Amino acid sequence: MKPAEQCPICQRELGEINTSKHHLKPKSQGGKHSDTVVLHNICHRKIHSLFTEKELKNDYNTIEKLLANEDMQKFVKWVAKKAPEFYDGSRSAKRKENKKWK
């Protein structure tokens, strides 16, 4: 039997629902054909709420770099306790607007 695939961010089992592909190099930054990883939607949403597209391209373009960020570590600690299919679509994004246009 094949082992269940895990989300590379939270290490919870990936299911058939609430998952999406994340481009390690954002499409808007020339990454249309770049490597992708399958993540839980909530993990994917967290990444895009914390980092601008430019930051993702230049500073957070690997899973290891994403997980080294303190805010991501706090999120992972919280979400790791949730069921794999958990997704809270009502949580508001905390994008740092002042960094958005740099």
Q: How far is CA 92 from the centre of its chain?
A: 15
How remote is the C-alpha of 37 from its chain's centroid?
Answer: 9
Q: Is the dihedral of CA 76, 25, 27, 101 positive or negative?
A: positive
Structure tokens at 47: 């990444």
The stretch 9-34 carries a mean pLDDT of: 91
pLDDT tens for residues 36-71?
Answer: 999 999 999 999 999 999 999 999 999 999 999 999
pTM above 0.85, yes or no: no
Secondary structure percentages of the chain, helix, strand, coil, to 5 = 40, 10, 50
Which pLDDT score is estimated for 101?
38
Confidence of residue 88 (pLDDT cuts 50, 70, 90): confident
Given a cut of 50, is residue 87 above it in pLDDT? yes
Nearest to 75 by CA among 41, 48, 46, 53: 46
Q: pLDDT averaged over the chain?
A: 86
Q: State yes or no: pLDDT of 100 exceeds 50.
A: no
